Amino acid sequence: MDRVRIRPFTPHDRDWLVAQHGTLYAQAEGFDASFGALVAEILDQFIVHHDSVAERGWIAEDAGRRLGSIFCVRLSETTAKLRLFLLVPEARGKGLGKRLLRTCMGFAKAQGYRDMQLWTHESHAAACALYRAEGWDLLSAKPVHSFGQDLVEQSWAYRF
């Protein structure tokens, strides 16, 4: 993972990111096509409307091969939101998730955000363990039916 670079997201990454989210979450958790559609909508809005000073996305890649992503978007003047955090299976467990998360959090702090939030599902145990290890707090958890599955939705927060 030493050769992996973290570079800015570009619109050329959109289709890969939508496909990876759709495929990986369908395989791992049985998510239906509505999840890929949500990712496409999030990315389309980001591409058209994001503030390049206050918001950013990153892609992790090794020799041109994309391995993952993470995004920082504005919720308010003081709060950032972490979005679209993904690692392909072969890139997991090697410290790359921590690098991506710290890149995103470092950017948010440098931009003057006082805190960050994220939304995820309890089934993403490795990501939730990483959030906890990096100082995030679990704010709430509730059962939901989303993307064709019964899930436990979680909200997390981090204060700088």
Please report the pLDDT score of residue 121 as a whole number. Answer: 87
State how far the Cα of 70 lies from the Cα of 60, in Å rounded to an integer.
Answer: 9
For the residues 99-105, what does the mean pLDDT come to?
98
Q: Distance (Å, rounded) from C-alpha 33 to C-alpha 60?
A: 25
Q: Tell whether the model's pLDDT for residue 84 goes beyond 70.
A: yes
Q: Are 6 and 99 in contact (CB under 8 A)?
A: yes
For residue 2, the model assigns a pLDDT of: 67
- pLDDT grade, residue 1 (50/70/90)? low
Q: For position 30, what pLDDT does the model report?
A: 87
Say whether pLDDT at 29 is over 90: no
Using an 8 Å Cβ cutoff, are 114 and 122 in contact? no
109-154 tens-digit pLDDT: 999 999 999 999 888 889 999 999 999 999 999 997 889 788 889 9
Could you tell me the pTM of the whole model? 0.94
CA 33 – CA 53 distance, rounded (Å)? 32
CA angle 136, 9, 74 (to 5 degrees): 45
- When pLDDT is averaged across residues 26-40 and rounded to a whole number, the result is 91
Residues above pLDDT 90, as percent of the chain:
85
Highest mean pLDDT among 25-29, 84-88, 140-144: 84-88
Has domain 5-159 been given CATH number 3.40.630.30?
yes
Q: Tell me, what's the pLDDT at 149?
A: 81
